[in-house]
Amino acid sequence: MEKYIESVHDFIGQLPNREGFSSNYLYRGQRDEDDKWELTPALFRQEKVLYGNWSNFEKALLKTFEKYALPFIDSIPQRKIDWMALAQHHGLPTRLLDWTENPLVALYFAVNELDHKCNGVVWMARFGANNYTFDDENLDKMKDTVMVYFPSVTTPRMIAQRGCFTVHKPPEGQEQYRPLEKRTIGPTFDIHTLVKFLVPGEKKRDLKLELDKYGIDPLTVFPDLDGLCRKINWDIYRRNLFIDDPES
């Protein structure tokens, strides 16, 4: 199912449970609707499967990360899933896919980079009930193809962005991963609902300006020095837009 976003108000009006964003739904914002932005974890986007199969490939990457990450972290993760979340946060390809519980944060990521030549997209998904215990053994022997994981080890960015992950079962051997949007969707499957909101490229700037009024800006999404500098640069851009407006 595809819908279009013309304004933040319009977007909120199309969401379920509008009186309070439903925790049953997760959202993911992407700046480009191109095929390379399919709902596929970064690990499974690699051109070649190293070490024989996806599972061995993942183990090798995590082993290297764990070996060299210790001097750079304050708290050592106790479970494989937490190591995976930490690695994902810093850019390592994993079987995790980033989502947020806040639809406006997802919309921010869809419009943040003002590339008017491509449409942005916000995905809204509802997954099956998650009664899964993410200990190491269960993670290695996932029965379901996709599960939701709310990390126990969080960062200020994760908290500000209301971030969480979906955990995806590796394909057998060297088989290619089938993106979520190309799977069967319905109440008896892992994915109960999947909606694609398209953000026209020419609307990105207006939507980003409107998000400011809802308190969604670079510093609220990235509560650190990087976010502060992004906020200052964004404010410069905004003031240049409205330099002749006496109310700016």
Residues 15 and 122 in one domain: yes
pLDDT above 70 coverage of the chain, percent: 91
Report if residue 208 sits inside a domain.
no
Report how far residue 105's alpha carbon sits from residue 211's, in angstroms, rounded to the nearest whole number. 9
Q: Which residue shows structure tokens 């799977």?
A: 183
Q: By residue range, what is the domain housing residue 49? A: 2-203
**190 and 248: one domain?**
no
Number of domains, the chain: 2
Same domain, 72 and 164: yes
* pLDDT above 70 (res 157): yes
Report residue 234 as tokens: 């964004």
129 pLDDT band, cuts 50/70/90, is low
What's the pLDDT tens digit per position in 167-181?
999 999 999 999 999
Q: Does residue 119 form part of some domain?
A: yes
In the predicted structure, residue 18 carries a pLDDT above the cut 80: no
Residue whose token pair is 């419009």: 111
Residues 196 and 224 in one domain: no
Q: Is 248 helix (H, G, I), strand (E, B) or coil?
A: coil
Instruction: Indicate if the pLDDT at residue 44 is higher than 80.
Output: yes
In a domain, 21, yes or no: yes
Does 135 reside within a domain?
yes
User: Using H for helix, E for strand and C for coil, what is the string for 106-136?
Assistant: HHHHHHCCCCCCCCEEEEEEEECCCCCCCCH
Query: Looking at the predicted structure, is the pLDDT value of residue 134 above 80?
Result: no
Residue of 3, 30, 32 lying closest to 16 (CA atoms): 3
96 and 139, same domain (yes or no): yes
Q: Give residue-wise pLDDT tens across range 222-234.
A: 999 999 999 999 9
Tell me the pLDDT tens digit for each residue of 73-83: 888 888 899 99
Residue 212 lies in a domain: no
